[in-house]
Amino acid sequence: MTKLASDTAMVMAAGLGKRMRPLTASQPKPMVRVAGKPMIDHALDRLTEAGIARAVVNVHYFPDVLEAHLAERKRPAVTISDERVQLLETGGGLVKAQGLLPDPFFCLNSDNLWLDGPKNTFADLSARWDPDQMDALLLLVPHKGALNFTGKGDFHMDSRGRLKRRRSGYVAPHIFTGIQLVSKRLLRDAPDGPFSTNVLWDRAIEEGRLYGLAFTGRWFEVGTPAAIKPTELALTDGL
């Protein structure tokens, strides 16, 4: 069995969930239920299945609701990164939480739902990880493996796995799943306050240190209420 690259994952759960309204009018998006349980529980259950012992979860929108729910979990052990005062976006959230995180660490969105391919997602990332070459390793899915996704894709990947941004006017073959393995080197000299992880990724691309791994399972984009039912059907049927 592949040894995991880290025993800790950052779970991004602080967003406002505007596209999921009206379901997020009185609760944070991670608490929206899909296939019988809150989306964040799908993500945390997958961490537990993989053997990841710790999760650092950032909170901002309806933080008390989310913290009360997380307090009921036994595994993984949850630590809160509190963004009540200011929503820091993805990059700022990582920087604020970095003192709670080892090097490297997994990172995933709290609304991530997926079905693994032949290998466990986190074991697969760990097997590919090379800290001498990589600042971050992103799990990417082709369009045919992305249910409910209607965008143009995010990245082009070369034969070595190095990533470049989608070129204007083109469709990129690879979509970011929201799951990655991150070196703290990515967070060095970061901006203050709120900012997107894209700022750090762009620097890593310039340095040739942003890599991708092709996902062989199925990933579900659950950004709006309309996406819930088809996702539930796919999860239930194992399609």
Question: What is the model's pTM?
Answer: 0.94
> How many Cα atoms are found within 13 Å in the side-chain-facing hemisphere of 51?
11
Task: Quote the tokens at residue 179.
Answer: 């799951």
Q: What is the 3-state secondary structure (H, E, C) of 93-160?
A: HHHHHHHHCCCCEEEEECCCEEECCCCCHHHHHHHHCCCCCCCEEEEEEEHHHEECCCCCCCEEECCC
Strand order in the sheet with 146-147: 113-115, 218-220, 146-147
Quick one: fold of 8-237?
Spore Coat Polysaccharide Biosynthesis Protein SpsA; Chain A (3.90.550)
Backbone angles phi, psi at 124, to 5 degrees: -65, -45
Label residue 239 by pLDDT band (50, 70, 90). very low
Looking at the DSSP assignment, which residues form a beta bridge with residue 139? 213
At position 34, the amino acid (one-letter code) is V
Task: Quote the tokens at residue 9.
Answer: 């994952």
Task: Quote the tokens at residue 75.
Answer: 């595994």
Q: What pLDDT does 1 receive?
A: 62
Element (H, E) at 178: strand 174-182
Per-residue pLDDT tens for 116-170? 988 999 999 999 999 999 999 999 999 999 999 988 999 999 999 999 999 888 8
Q: What pLDDT does 150 receive?
A: 87
> How many Cα atoms are found within 13 Å in the side-chain-facing hemisphere of 136?
29
